[in-house]
Amino acid sequence: MHVDGSCHCGAIQYEAEIDPDAAMICHCTDCQTLSSTAFRVNAPANAKDFSIIKGNPKEYVKFGESGRRRAQGFCSNCGTQIYATSAEEPRTIFMIRVGTMTQRAKVTPKIQAWHRSSLKWLGQLSEIPALEKT
């Protein structure tokens, strides 16, 4: 599936060919902290199918629980997270943050990873009073 996206300030723009059937939610505690919210939603693209067409993301390298070093690409101006990939070359897969995609409403996650650390209120979302606007 062809997608395009950008960070909030527009300094970074990309295009990619993602696999929507591999879109996933990650409930790991690193995703909670790095996103400063409840979970992240990602979809993978092969490195050859992911192009930064504007700007130059900054990368923060973290150690995953597996011990692998993972580069987290984000906009150094507005802080929007764009992708994660291997910190080492060659990079084969980019996990793209679905919330930055123009087509995000069309990408439905197919699986939830690290569910053991998911925030328990997520299961009660439909019971929380909802406003169409603030």
Q: Tell me which residues touch Zn ion (CB under 5 A).
A: 7, 9, 11, 26, 28, 31, 75, 77-78
SS3 (DSSP) at 83: strand
* Pick 42 or 126: Cβ nearer Zn ion: 42
Indicate the pairing of strand 24-26 with strand 111-113: parallel
Residue among 16 and 73 whose Cβ is closer to Zn ion = 73
Burial annotation 8-19 (CB, 10 A radius, 16+ → b, else e)? eeebbbbebebe
Measured from the CB atom, the residue of 50 and 74 that comes closer to Zn ion is 74
Q: Which residues pair with 73 in a beta bridge?
A: 59, 83
Q: Is 81 exposed, middle or buried (0-12, 13-18, 19+ CB in 10 A)?
A: buried
Q: How far is the CB of 64 from Zn ion (least distance, A)?
A: 8
- In the bound state with Zn ion, the residue whose beta carbon lies nearer, of 37 and 92, is 37
Give the integer Cα–Cα distance in Å for 134 and 70. Answer: 36
